[in-house]
Amino acid sequence: MYVQDISWEDVLCTLRIPYTIRETGTILILCWFHRELHPSMVCRPPSREQANFFCYGCHAHGTITTFIEEVSLIDTLRLFLAPSKPIKGQLPLLF
């Protein structure tokens, strides 16, 4: 499988990211790189002339492969940096 064969629908479904397809064929999603209430990230089909995604809120942009890499990194960081609930009777680790 080549990068050109990867579709945004496949990536977003795999990552469980809700999306809306506009009449123009572009896909609109909530940006993963900043908090927002209304979708501001546009995903376009692969093209050599323009970025595959662009956020009008925080100006994040890139290709479909960089999107996958950055979303995976953010998920990993959220997992490790999220405060965990201590088990009853266990002291939290402070370091």
- pTM beyond 0.85, yes or no: no
Q: What is the Cα–Cα distance from 8 to 17, expressed in whole angstroms?
A: 10
Residue-level pLDDT at 56: 95
Residue-level pLDDT at 38: 92
CB half-sphere exposure, 91, CA atoms < 13 A: 3
Range scoring the smallest mean pLDDT among 12-16, 50-54, 78-82: 78-82
pLDDT at residue 45 above 60? yes
pLDDT at residue 26 above 50? yes
Q: In what order do the strands lie in the sheet with 41-43?
A: 20-21, 27-29, 41-43, 53-55, 61-62
